Amino acid sequence: EAGVAQSPRYKIIEKRQSVAFWCNPISGHATLYWYQQILGQGPKLLIQFQNNGVVDDSQLPKDRFSAERLKGVDSTLKIQPAKLEDSAVYLCASSYVRLGTYNEQFFGPGTRLTVL
């Protein structure tokens, strides 16, 4: 079974530029998550989709970050414009949905973003 795919793996941009990350979840996984992991920290949830609807985006800086999952499969996370503090690894994860129990989240390898 193929895992969660993310691209690009690395990206270097200058502040105020725009950047987009792509995620392809595991086939059949209805829930998709984007996390931000700053060096030395644990992952922090930015946004959670179930199919193509947003479940939780309370920690997404909406003035500069946006995400979409138009067909309920692939997802794109965009930053526009980027700031120095956005330098981090952006992780995508996906899971099945089975109510009443924890659904294991499978993580992709991440995209390491460096903002200069």
Partner 1 sequence: GQQLNQSPQSMFIQEGEDVSMNCTSSSIFNTWLWYKQDPGEGPVLLIALYKAGELTSNGRLTAQFGTTRKDSFLNISASIPSDVGIYFCAGQPISGGSNYKLTFGKGTLLTVNP
Question: Which residues form the interface with partner 1 (CB under 8 A)?
Answer: 4, 31, 40-45, 48, 50, 55-56, 91, 93, 95, 97, 99, 101-105, 107-110
65 or 94: whose CB is closer to partner 1?
Answer: 94
Minimum CB separation from partner 1 for residue 16, in Å? 28
Residue 29 Cα distances to 20, 48, 56, angstroms: 22, 12, 17
Smaller CB distance to partner 1: residue 76 or 103? 103
State yes or no: cis peptide before 25, omega within 30 of 0: no
